[in-house]
Chains A and B, each alone.
Chain A
Amino acid sequence: MDNLYIAPTPSTPEVDFKFDAHRLSLRGESYPENAAAFYGDIIAKLKDYLGGQQSEKIEVNIALAYFNSSSTKMLFNLIEALNDAVDTGNQVQLNWFHDEEDDTILEFGQELSEDFTSIEFVSHAVRPS
C-alpha cells in the first residue's frame, strides 16, 4: 500500500507514515476544525496497514507540542489501533517526545503507557529550540 504523507499546517500536525519502512511519525500541533474527520481518515489507513502485518517491528514517533481535546480523543483511538496490532503478534515501539519543560505532554504520555500496556513506550525529553 502507499505511504501516507500530510504536510503540516498551523493547526494540524505533519503525518509521515512510511508503511514500507514500518516507521510512522506525527509532528507538530493539533487543533483541527474537525478532529474526527482529520484523524478518521488517518486511522482508517493505519488500520488497513496494520491488518496486513504479522510479526512486524513497528516504530511510531509522536512529537506533538500541543493538541486539543478532540485530538486527544482521536489519539486514544489511534493508539488503541496500535495496541491491537501488538495483540495480533506485532511489536510496537512508541517514542513519545515532549518538551523538557512541558509536564502536561509528559504526563499524557505516561497515562497512555498505563492504558496501553502492549505497546513499548519510550519517553524523550526535548530541549526547546
Chain B
Amino acid sequence: MNAQALPTDIFEAETRALEVARAAHDSASAAGDAAGARSHQALGELLSAYERLLRETRRLVRRSDRTEREMSQLNQRLQDLATELEYRATHDPLTAVLNRAAIIERVNGCFERQDLSLVVLDIDHFKRINDSFGHPVGDTVIVGVVHCLKNVVPESAHVGRVGGEEFTVLLPGQGPEEAVAVADAMRRCIESHDFALPDGSDITASFGVSWAARGGRFDDAYNLADEALYAAKRGGRNRVELAAIQQAMPAS
C-alpha cells in the first residue's frame, strides 16, 4: 500500500485529469495559425466548463448525501414510533398485559388454528378496595394480580386485561381439565399473595373457564366463561367453575 494520504474527494481522478489538461493549456501559447488559436481557446473554455461541472456536482452530491442521511434518520424514527404505537395500541398501560382489543384478536386468531381454553377472572370485592383505600391502592392490587397470573400461566398463554378488575387468559391448545388446573393455580397464587393492604386483608378472585373447538368465536367462548365466572361468584367467590362443554370433545 503506498503511503499517500487518503483521498477526501470523490472526483479525485477527474481533478487530476483536469490539472494535467490545465497545465498543458497554460504552457502552450496559442499557436501561430488561426486554427491553433481556435482550438487553444476552445480547450480553455472546455476546462472552465469542466471545472464548474465538477464543482457543482460535488455540491449536488453533498446536498444529496445530507438529505439522504436525514431521510434515513427520519425513517428510523418512523419505524421506532410505529413499533411503539403498535405496542401502545395493544397493551394495557398499567399492567403491560394485552388490552381488550388485542386479546380478542389473539383468541380469534388462535381459533383459526386450534382448540383453546379461556379463563375469565374477576377480583372479588374490588370496589371495596377502591372505596376504602383509594385508587392508587386499587392499582397496586391490579398490578399484583397480574404478577400472580404471569407467575403461574404456561409459556404459551396470553394474559389480557378486559375491564377494570377483570382479566382474560387465553390457553391455546389446552383442554378443559388443564385449564381448570391453571385457573386454580392462579387462584391459589392470588389468595396467598401479600398485597400489603392497610387493613392487612387478603385479595381473592373468582374464575370461569370455557373450552371451545377450533373454528369457534371469542364472543361465545367469553360468554360461556363469563357465565361460569358468575356461578363461581354465586358459589361463594374465590373459586373456579368450568362451563359446560358445548361440543363433544374430539376423540384423542
- A interface with B by C-beta (< 8 Å): 31, 34-37, 40-41, 44-45, 48, 66, 68-70, 73-74, 77
Contacts and interface: CB of A to CB of B under 8 A. Distances in A.
B72 interface: yes
B2 interface: yes
B68 interface: yes
Contacts of B2: 44
B86 interface: no
A37 B6 contact: yes
Contacts of B61: 69-70, 73
B8 A68 contact: no
Contacts of B8: 34, 36-37
A40 B6 contact: yes
Given A44-B2, A45-B1, A68 B9 contact: no
Interface string B50-66: 00000000001110110
A36 B65 CA distance: 13
Contacts of B68: 31, 68-69
A78 to B, nearest CB: 12
A70 B6 CA distance: 15
Nearest to B11: A73
Interface string B6-22: 11111111000000000
B12 A40 contact: yes
Interface of B: 1-2, 6-13, 60-62, 64-65, 68-69, 72
B65 A68 contact: yes
Contacts of B64: 68-69
A105 B12 CA distance: 25
Contacts of B12: 36, 40
Contacts of B72: 31, 66
A34 B13 CA distance: 16
8 contacts: A36-B6, A36-B7, A37-B7, A37-B8, A44-B1, A44-B2, A68-B64, A70-B62
B65 A73 contact: no
Contacts of A44: 1-2
B7 A69 contact: no
Contacts of A68: 64-65, 68-69
A45 B6 CA distance: 12
Contacts of B69: 31, 68
A35 B12 CA distance: 12
The list of the 3 closest CB pairs from A to B, nearest first, reads A40-B7, A69-B64, A73-B10
A37 B65 CA distance: 15
A36 to B, nearest CB: 5
A35 B69 CA distance: 13
Contacts of A74: 10
Contacts of A35: 10, 65
Nearest to A45: B1
Given A37-B7, A70-B61, 17 more contacts: A31-B65, A31-B68, A36-B6, A36-B7, A36-B9, A36-B10, A37-B8, A40-B6, A68-B64, A68-B65, A68-B69, A69-B64, A69-B68, A70-B62, A70-B65, A73-B10, A77-B13
A37 B10 CA distance: 9
